């Protein structure tokens, strides 16, 4: 990186971004970040800026970009409301370990604490939801802090970093040199692999009769898909996934036994409480995965491969913890394990699969009733995309259906708000995903509720012409809440019914080609037409209003108490 003499803080920020390989950022200008935008104007050919319609959209777009590329997503906002509007996306990125750097403008340093126009303490506000944050008041700090921000965001267990920069530091001038950050002395991103622990884990695996793998996003974040596949195939152990882990190996892989958790598959949930060894890989035993911890896999020995020491024994006490980057620990573990046929064990999964198919899946994917199901829409999307689309889902019933039924051939193909459950995530995240993976088909699956939380990002999609395929599964309800009201609150549908506008007209108002499907016989052609388009496309599918998602582990129940109806 060449040295620059006497450049502004704003220009320095841009050189930092370029040095980190950033060529695309999302944001929204405003008073305290204007010097940066002014400089950005001069660097348009090197650094593309996408103007979202709300700062929250910028964060989710940056997240979508990060999730499909594995790179750090970057978003920018002004001080005050611009900064506070980022908070939901930052919290989402924190809980889903998404690498992101957020830049916020701040009032000039001499006004800090004076309740100046658009002043807010974004450092204080964002502290609990950032991996790290820092306020720059001195132009000379910019290169070092920005290098540190990117290093922290992407290393170890990734996460969001917020850098707040006072307006005077953007204007002030200083000489500039950039050196990438290689370490922070108080921060150890990757624990040193303990080979004894791996040997101990291998012993347990080699002794097991009914072992089961549950993998999470750690496999994808660790770029260890190949190493993971090799481990699964050599050990011949049935492997189930969390919704952030799915797509690390193909859906139709013979050892892939499906989804765990509240709306996961019947077999892996039931058999969690029958296995004799649970091998957790890059997952964090979220309550939506474990159900009641008092009755979760109590009969099993548990091995946990994990990069974050704070996750060990946090929710589930484990017998062997392998603290390391899975890319490093998995090959060693693979070399020490031997395969067994586990014939009866696999048959147990198959038997539960059959029950689930007969009781749930058949009706979801091949319905005989009149109303359209969400499942059949997913089935059509799988068909039309050859199981190869990036599926970006929002939060609710459609999300669970998308995670259950979307089929994947490639890693980094399922983008959803897992931990935080942020409605409104999918539309902007799909935009970011499409820009990160322009050669792939990106389909957003959104409910009528979540769609209206960030609906204005249709404007960004129109302006960028990013060929996102937006599918709204409309049941005129906040469907998941309604489902809970039906099952647990005696059908008191408090504030869950939605009187919706004409979504097709709204999309058309943004000059996006749009279609509504109300009948089964129209669905297949409509999906084909959407997929054939090389432009943004909007498809509303009016689905059965009061369908429920099953199987379901009721809140607080045991994984083995999973219900089929």
Nearest distance in Å: CB 352, another protein: 34
Q: Is 498 a catalytic residue?
A: no
DSSP one-letter string for 96-124: TT--EEEEEEE--GGGTTS--TT---HHH
> Could you tell me which stretch among 181-189, 332-340, 442-450, 547-555 binds another protein (CB under 8 A)?
181-189
- The residue whose two tokens read 């799915």 is 246
150 labelled catalytic: no
| CA dist 427 → 65, 234, 394, 497, 557 (Å) | 12, 39, 8, 22, 33
Among 26, 37, 132, 150, binds another protein (CB under 8 A): 132
Q: Nearest distance from residue 296's CB to another protein, in Å?
A: 16
Told to check if 313 binds another protein by CB under 8 A, we report: yes
4, 34, 118, 340: which one is catalytic? 118
Give the nearest distance from C-beta 345 to another protein in angstroms.
Answer: 33
Residue 385 is classified by DSSP as: H
- 4-8 and 173-176 strand pairing: antiparallel
Whichever of 127 and 177 has its CB closer to another protein, that residue is 127
Q: In what order do the strands lie in the sheet with 100-106?
A: 48-51, 24-27, 73-77, 100-106, 160-166, 132-136
Q: List, in order, residues 6 or more apart from 492 with CB less than 8 Å away.
A: 485
Q: Which of 10, 56, 133, 558 binds another protein (CB under 8 A)?
A: 133
Taken in order 175, 177, 178, 182, the sign of the CA dihedral is negative
Cβ proximity to another protein: between 135 and 273 the closer is: 135
Nearer to another protein by C-beta: 132 or 451? 132
**212 a catalytic residue:** no
- Please report how close the Cβ of residue 133 comes to another protein at its closest, in angstroms: 7
Pairwise CA distance, residues 214 & 352, whole Å: 17
Contact present, 204 and 277 (Cβ < 8 Å): yes
Q: Which CB atom, from 5 or from 185, has the smaller least distance to another protein?
A: 185
> Of the listed 167, 301, 327, 379, which one is catalytic?
167
For residue 415, the cross-strand partners are: 392
Residue reference for tokens 């190996």:
249
Segment interacting with another protein, rule: CB under 8 A, options 304-312, 395-403, 434-442, 495-503: 304-312
Q: Which one of 52-60, 77-85, 130-138, 139-147 is the stretch in contact with another protein (CB under 8 A)?
A: 130-138
**Pick from 21, 185, 343, 499: which binds another protein (CB under 8 A)?**
185
Question: At which residue do the structure tokens 């090799």 appear?
Answer: 230
Q: Which of 11, 39, 55, 441 is catalytic?
A: 55
Question: In whole angstroms, how close is the CB of 114 to another protein at the nearest point?
Answer: 18
Q: 463: Cβ–Cβ under 8 A, 6 or more apart, which residues? A: 51
Q: For the chain, count helices (H), then strands (E).
A: 24, 20
According to the 3-state scheme, what is the secondary structure of 134-199?
Answer: EEECCHHHHHHHHHHHHHHHHCCCCCEEEEEEEHHHHHCEEEECCCCCCCECCECCCCCCCHHHHH
Is 131 one of the binding residues for another protein (CB under 8 A)? yes
Judged by CB under 8 A, the residue of 123, 250, 336, 348 near another protein is 123
Candidates 66, 77, 152, 219; binder of another protein (CB under 8 A) is 152
Is residue 116 involved in binding another protein (CB under 8 A)? no
Residues 6+ apart with CB under 8 A from 310: none
Q: Is-contact 539 503, C-beta < 8 A?
A: no
118 given a catalytic annotation: yes
148 is catalytic: no
Q: Facing residues of 390 across strands?
A: 442
Count CB atoms within 10 A of the CB of residue 545: 13
Question: From the list 183, 299, 335, 386, which residue makes contact with another protein (rule: CB under 8 A)?
Answer: 183
Q: Which lies closer to another protein via its Cβ, residue 135 or residue 464?
A: 135
Nearer to another protein, 57 or 159 (CB): 159
Stretch that binds another protein, among 16-24, 54-62, 171-179, 310-318 (CB under 8 A): 310-318
What are the E-state strand segments in 9-99?
24-27, 48-51, 73-77
Of 96-104, 124-132, 373-381, 484-492, the segment contacting another protein by CB under 8 A is 124-132
Which range touches another protein (CB under 8 A), out of 20-28, 208-216, 308-316, 329-337?
308-316
335 binds another protein (CB under 8 A): no
Using CB under 8 A, which of 113, 254, 309, 509 touches another protein? 309
Residue 41: burial class (beta carbons within 10 Å; 0-12, 13-18, 19+) = exposed
Q: Is 308 in the site for another protein (CB under 8 A)?
A: yes
- Which x/- pattern, by CB under 8 A, does the window 483-512 give for another protein? ------------------------------
**Residue 52 or 126: which CB sits closer to another protein?**
126
Residues 221/130/399/57 CA torsion (nearest 10 deg): -110
> Given 146, 480, 531, 552, which residue is catalytic?
480
Residues identified as active-site? 55, 117-118, 167, 480
Interface residues toward another protein, by CB under 8 A: 123-124, 127-128, 131-133, 135, 152, 183-188, 308-310, 312-314
């Amino acid at each position: 990186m060449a040295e620059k003499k006497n450049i502004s803080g704003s220009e320095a920020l841009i050189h930092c971004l370029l040095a980190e390989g950033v060529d695309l950022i999302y944001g929204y200008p405003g008073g305290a970040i204007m010097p940066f935008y002014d400089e950005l104007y001069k660097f348009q050919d090197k650094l593309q800026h996408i103007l979202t319609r709300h700062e929250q959209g910028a964060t989710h777009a940056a997240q979508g970009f990060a999730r499909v590329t594995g790179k750090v997503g970057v978003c920018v906002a002004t001080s005050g409301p611009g900064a506070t509007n980022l908070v939901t996306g930052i919290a989402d990125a924190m809980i889903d370990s998404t690498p992101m750097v957020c830049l916020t403008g701040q009032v000039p340093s001499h006004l800090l604490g004076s309740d100046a126009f658009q002043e807010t303490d974004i450092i204080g506000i964002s502290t609990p939801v950032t991996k790290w944050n820092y306020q720059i008041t001195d132009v000379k700090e910019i290169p070092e802090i920005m290098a540190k921000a990117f290093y922290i965001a992407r290393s170890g267990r990734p996460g969001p970093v917020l850098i707040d920069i006072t307006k005077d530091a953007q204007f002030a001038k200083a000489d500039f040199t950039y050196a990438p950050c290689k370490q922070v002395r108080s921060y150890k991103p990757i624990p040193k692999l303990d080979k004894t622990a791996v040997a101990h884990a291998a012993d347990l695996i080699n002794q097991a009769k009914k072992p089961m793998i549950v993998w999470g996003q750690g496999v994808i974040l660790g770029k260890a898909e190949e190493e993971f596949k090799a481990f699964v195939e050599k050990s011949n152990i049935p492997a189930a996934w969390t919704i952030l882990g799915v797509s690390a190996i193909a859906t139709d892989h013979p050892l892939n036994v499906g989804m765990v958790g509240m709306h996961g598959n019947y077999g892996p949930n039931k058999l969690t409480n029958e296995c004799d060894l649970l091998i957790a890989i890059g997952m964090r035993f979220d309550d939506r995965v474990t159900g009641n911890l008092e009755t979760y896999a109590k009969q099993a020995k548990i091995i946990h491969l994990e990069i974050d020491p704070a996750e060990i024994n946090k929710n589930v006490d484990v017998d062997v913890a392998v603290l390391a980057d899975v890319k490093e620990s998995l090959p060693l573990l693979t070399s020490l394990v031997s395969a067994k046929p586990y014939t009866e064990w696999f048959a147990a999964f198959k038997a539960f699969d059959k029950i689930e198919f007969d009781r749930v899946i058949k009706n979801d994917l091949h319905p005989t009733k009149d109303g359209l199901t969400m499942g059949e829409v997913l089935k059509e999307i799988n068909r039309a995309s050859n199981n190869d689309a990036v599926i970006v889902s929002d939060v609710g019933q459609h999300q669970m259906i998308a995670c259950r039924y979307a089929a994947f051939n490639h890693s980094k193909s399922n983008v959803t708000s897992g931990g935080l459950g942020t409605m409104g995530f999918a539309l902007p995240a799909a935009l970011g995903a499409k820009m990160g993976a322009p050669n792939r088909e990106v389909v957003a699956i959104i409910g009528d509720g979540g769609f209206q939380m960030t609906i204005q990002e249709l404007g960004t999609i129109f302006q960028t012409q990013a060929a996102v395929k937006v599918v709204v599964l409309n049941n005129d309800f906040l469907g998941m809440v309604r489902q809970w009201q039906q099952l647990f609150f005696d059908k008191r549908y408090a504030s869950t019914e939605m009187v919706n506008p004409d979504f097709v007209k709204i999309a058309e108002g943004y000059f996006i080609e749009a279609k509504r499907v109300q009948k089964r016989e129209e669905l297949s052609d409509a999906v084909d037409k959407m997929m054939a388009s090389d432009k943004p496309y909007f498809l509303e599918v009016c689905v059965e209003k009061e369908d429920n998602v099953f199987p379901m582990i009721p809140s607080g129940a045991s994984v083995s108490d999973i219900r089929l109806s």
